[in-house]
Every structure is written in C-alpha cells, then in structure tokens.
Structure 1
Amino acid sequence: MNLSRQEFRQQIRQLRQQLSPQFQQQAGSQLAKQISNLPEILHADHIALYLSADGEIDTTPLIEWLWQQGKQVYLPVIHPFSKGHLLFLHYQADTEMVLNQYRILEPKLKQSLIKPVHQLDLVFTPLVGFDSTGHRLGMGGGYYDRTLAPWFHHQRGPKPIGLAHDCQHVSKLPIESWDVPLPKIVTPSKIWQWESHA
C-alpha cells in the first residue's frame, strides 16, 4: 500500500498522540539513557534540542541530564524576519518562555541568548517518521532542512541526530529529490546509524 507523505504524517502522528503520559515519561528516560552512550555527546558542549509537542518523545529527561553534565542547551525559535528559518536560543530552567504561532513554547526572543547555528555541536532533530535508510519525514515546514543544509550538503556545521519513538519507524518513506538522510536516529530501544565513517 503506497501512502503519500501526508498520509504517513497523519498515521504516525495519531499513533504517537495515543501514547499514555506514563509511557511518554518512560520513553523519555530511556531515550536520555541511550543518548548518554553516544560518543558525540562527550565532546559536545553546545547542544540544540526542542520541547516535545504533539506526542513527540518527551525530551525533558534528556534536557535535565544534559544540564547535570554541564552542557549548554539551546531551543529553536521561529525567525521573526527570515521566513521558514530558525534561531537557537540558550535555554535554562528560568528562561522566559512564550507560545509561538504553532502554540509551541519557545524562549522569548532576546539577542543576547542567540547562538549562531555553526557554533552548535549537535542538533537533536524532531521528526514525524523515519525509515530504514535514515530518511526523515518532518512536519512539512522545512525549518530543519534549511537549518541543517550546510551539514547535509558539505558536512559542515552541527551534526544532526534525529529523536523518535520506536513506533515512528516505517520500512520505507516516499522520498523527494531534496531529502537527505540523517546520519543517526535515536529511539528508546535503539541507535540507528547510517554513517559510512562511523
């Protein structure tokens, strides 16, 4: 059965929205444990993450673990002037938060908190679905595709690592010519890796 990208999006979002709060909490803790084993995390000081919404895997345990390790955490903010682009702002427990146009919490825009993308070490990337070749299906806005273009095309800038529930994996997604697979995706039960030079 050949589903379109939109149908995949709908189906997987429904699946993850049905996960119970207890399941989410447990999955978030298991995810943090998996990430603590990543070699990349050792030398990464500046790490971009996101706050979970719409049934995404709970990133709270991971954010708290990173803080405990003395890592600097940054969250995406929709760029106020450059349409379809993201800024990343330093995030701490007392950061002032506001709702963006998608009703997702983000740090209140403050120039002093902005970290240029090329100065980040890792960007943990949200996704709706992923397949066995590392292709990622996003929400369709292209925000992360634009942010990570230097990595995808020239291996420059912060390394992207996808985060997902196990149920977000499908064997094959319909892909477009501009889609570039992620080098790594982490779920609560597995680290998927497609790097030729791992």
Structure 2
Amino acid sequence: MAVSGVDGSFDRRELRRELRRRRRALTPHQRRLASRELCRRLTRLPELQRARRVALYLPNDGEIDPRPLIDWLTARRAQVYLPVLRPLSENRLWFVRYHAGTRMTHNRFGIAEPDTRFGARRANRLPAWALDTVLMPLVGFDDDGQRIGMGGGFYDRTFAFARRRRPRPALIGLAHDCQRVEALPVASWDVPLDAIVSDRRVIQPRR
C-alpha cells in the first residue's frame, strides 16, 4: 500500500487513519492470536533474552499487545518499565517501574500510565539511556525497517540521543502485520530502529 497526496507527496495523516482503521478492525480473537505470535517471536530475540531493564507499553487504539511478555520478563528477573509523559512543555517520556500493584492513571491522551503523583519514588524512574531494550508501538512499517508513529514525536524526541551516542537501548517497534505497507519515506527526525516485530515477521534492517 502506498498513500500519496493530490500532488504525489506522501500523506502521513491519511496513511495513519487507514492503518489505525485496519488494526481497530481486528476481532478480539485475532488480536489475542496476534499478541501470542508477537511475544513468541520477541522471546527469541537476543535483545530481549539478555535485557534486564525493558520498557514496553500498554496497548491503546488497537495496538498489538505486548503484555503477555511481562510474566516471561519477570521470570527472568528483568525489570519492566512503562512510558510516562513528562510535562507538556517537554513532550518527552520518562520510564517508570511497573508491577501488578502499580497505581495507574490516564494521561492527557487517555492512555494508562503509572501515577507519578503518589508513591512513585525517583528510584523507580529511569532515563531513556539507562534502559536495555525498548518496545514501542508503531502505526505502520515497511520491509526496509522504516516506520511511522502516531505523529506526536514523543519516542523520537526521547531517543534522539541514540543517533550519536553509545551505548544505547535496543529499539524495537511492534505492530500487527496488517500495518505493513510497501514503502515509507525517512523523515529527518526518525530515530532508526534495531528491529520491527509483528505477529508474522521480524525485520532487522541493516544500518
């Protein structure tokens, strides 16, 4: 699938609408199967097998669900973190330790995140560079490892340092396979990913 504007230019907004429609159209059964296949592929990745501090997300708006991975990570004594929106003026992410008893709230987009107002000690919060592996949701991807997100740029701003600094976390994008498209252009602000994983494939682009 390729989406262009009337002048032939790439229309990100139109593409996001179409791909979000595709993933929302999946039935609950299809989503459960996709989540299971996704996590099966993720557990085979060295980036997950050796990680001790892993950030993932809670699914929203039909996003593929990585939550079954939490028990596997916990059994391996890995720590799980969730993204939390920093103050509006920064438009970046914090990462806060998550477990079954974590008090949750909803951010300004209606997405669940750890409630940092109560009992979230600073020791439970990590800067982005201190993570080993980050699993992030995608709106679309192609076979060359290019991707498109929701358009807010939170992950790109948060991990902008990864273009120039080592060590850095392994960055892995997740999506339903129905969100795959023929080709996506590279934007100057896009932070390259180490892998993209769907319920049907693993793409590890060469950089």
So what's the TM-score if we normalise by structure 1?
A: 0.92
Correspondence for 1:108: 115
User: How far 1:147 moved relative to its partner?
Assistant: 1.5
User: How far 1:82 moved relative to its partner?
Assistant: 4.7
Correspondence for 1:80: 87
Question: 1:109-188 residue pairs with structure 2 within 5 A?
Answer: 109=116, 110=120, 111-188=122-199
Correspondence for 1:36: 43
Given candidates 65, 68, 72, the residue that maps to 2:75 is 68
User: How far 1:27 moved relative to its partner?
Assistant: 0.9
User: How far 1:98 moved relative to its partner?
Assistant: 0.2
Of stretches 151-160 and 3-12 in structure 1, the one that deviates more from structure 2 is 151-160
Return the alpha-carbon distance in structure 2 between the equivalents of residues 81 and 114 of structure 1. Answer: 18
State the Cα deviation string for residues 60-118 of structure 1 (Å, max 9, x = none). Answer: 21223222222110000000265211000000011000011010100011233201222
Correspondence for 1:25: 32
Correspondence for 1:89: 96
Given candidates 16, 20, 23, the residue that maps to 1:16 is 23
Return the alpha-carbon distance in structure 2 between the equivalents of residues 166 and 50 of structure 1. Answer: 18
Q: Is the 8 A contact 1:127 1:139 kept in 2?
A: yes
Percentage identity across aligned positions? 45
CA RMSD after TM alignment:
1.6
Q: 1:189 to 1:107 in 2, by over 3 A?
A: same
Q: Kindly tell me the number of residue pairs found equivalent between the two proteins.
A: 196
So what's the TM-score if we normalise by structure 2?
A: 0.89
SS in structure 2 of the partner of residue 98 of structure 1 = strand
Residue ranges of structure 2 left out of the alignment (5+ in a row): 5-9
